[in-house]
Amino acid sequence: MAQKPAAGGVSELSGLTKSAILMISLGPEKSSKIFQNLKEEEIEALTLEIANTRNISQTVKDQVIDEFYQVCLAQQFISEGGIGYAKDLLEKALGSDKAVDIISKLTASLQVRPFEFVRKTEASVLLNFIQDEHPQTIALILSYLSASQAAGVISSLPPDKQVDVAKRIATMDRTSPDVIKEVERVLERKLVSLVNQDYTIAGGIDAVVEILNSVDRGTERHILETLETEQPELADEIRKKMFVFEDILTLDDKSIQRVLREVDNNDLAIALKGSNEEVQAAIFKNMSTRLAQMIKEDMDFMGPVRMKDVEEAQQKIVNIIRKLEDASEIIISRGGGDEVIV
């Protein structure tokens, strides 16, 4: 049961406990109106907390009400002019430390990412709902999804739209909560789901890199090659953060040898079948003469190989490289100097 907190005030109480104290302080009539706007599970949790809350002093009740008022005031300021505007007004009214504390609590409570309902939807189903939307709308939605889910959607888009959407994700920065809310509302109407508003940053180079790292090789190549023609600087930024099969040339000999220990020889032969002589040379010099000769013979005997099979084999090897990188067993250098991606 909730007791009067120590001298530190209400700061040690959980949000649920403070909500229960607020409901008790407001009384049955006003509290009932608040309950009408809560979800069933929230009502259940809050009711149980109220039942278990006892011996709350008037001082604590006053502190909880005061904090609630300050948060409501901050929300009003944010809706009028944004977080920066709210912080300025609260600093004038309550002082810098108090303003920062309130804004921190409020923004923390808002960190429910948009399009949460979409994350449980199959990529193929989602594609049916958004493929005819404007590329900017598709880019916004994909920026908030997992990389694998976004990859499933972007891979199925027409080639010209793939590039357009990838470009928009890469150049996206902050998006107005009102815009997000409107897109969510439209999508909600289509999927009949519950949505939330968010103030977080979406998109950017890292977002499109993560998505491109998850799509099939053909989609990845098409998007990057088209971007190199249309926006070479953007394509260069994206490539600096990616790792494709040909980037094996950037690994040192020790790292290549570590990778080869994990690679299936058949996959390697197929992958090298579609690579240039420079890549082949880098691979062969890091294995025994006998094994290199065996791989070369396999490549000769297998004859023509479908591009799809080559790309799949190369992607398997790239995935192994990324796995070893994540485990810090190898390091991929980027951009020269001391800059590395670990």
* pLDDT for the residue 288: 92
The Cα–Cα gap between 215 and 330 comes to: 23
> pLDDT tens for residues 52-92?
777 778 888 888 888 777 777 766 766 666 556 666 776 77
In whole angstroms, what separates CA 105 from the centre of its chain?
22
**Residue 6, pLDDT above cutoff 50:** no
> pLDDT tens for residues 238-276?
876 777 788 888 888 999 999 999 999 999 999 998 888
> pLDDT tens for residues 294-336?
999 988 888 888 888 888 898 889 888 878 877 888 877 544 3
> pLDDT tens for residues 112-148?
456 665 666 677 777 777 877 888 888 888 887 778 8
The Cα–Cα gap between 56 and 24 comes to: 10
Mean pLDDT of 38-60: 78
* pLDDT for the residue 278: 92
Provide the pairing of β-strand 332-333 with 340-341.
antiparallel
* 60 or 285, higher pLDDT: 285
* pLDDT for the residue 10: 66
* pLDDT for the residue 196: 36
Q: Which of 32-41, 218-227, 267-276, 304-313 has the lowest mean pLDDT?
A: 32-41
The percentage of residues in the chain with a pLDDT greater than 70, rounded to a whole number, is 75
The Cα–Cα gap between 274 and 270 comes to: 7
Mean pLDDT of 4-19: 64
Q: Whole-prediction pTM value?
A: 0.37
Which token pair is 74? 């901050």
Burial readout 260-282 (b: 16 or more C-beta within 10 A, e: otherwise): beebeeebbbbbbbbbeeebbeb
Helix, strand, coil % (nearest 5) of the chain?
70, 0, 30
φ/ψ of residue 5, rounded to 5: -70, 170
DSSP class of residue 132?
Answer: T
DSSP class of residue 332?
Answer: E
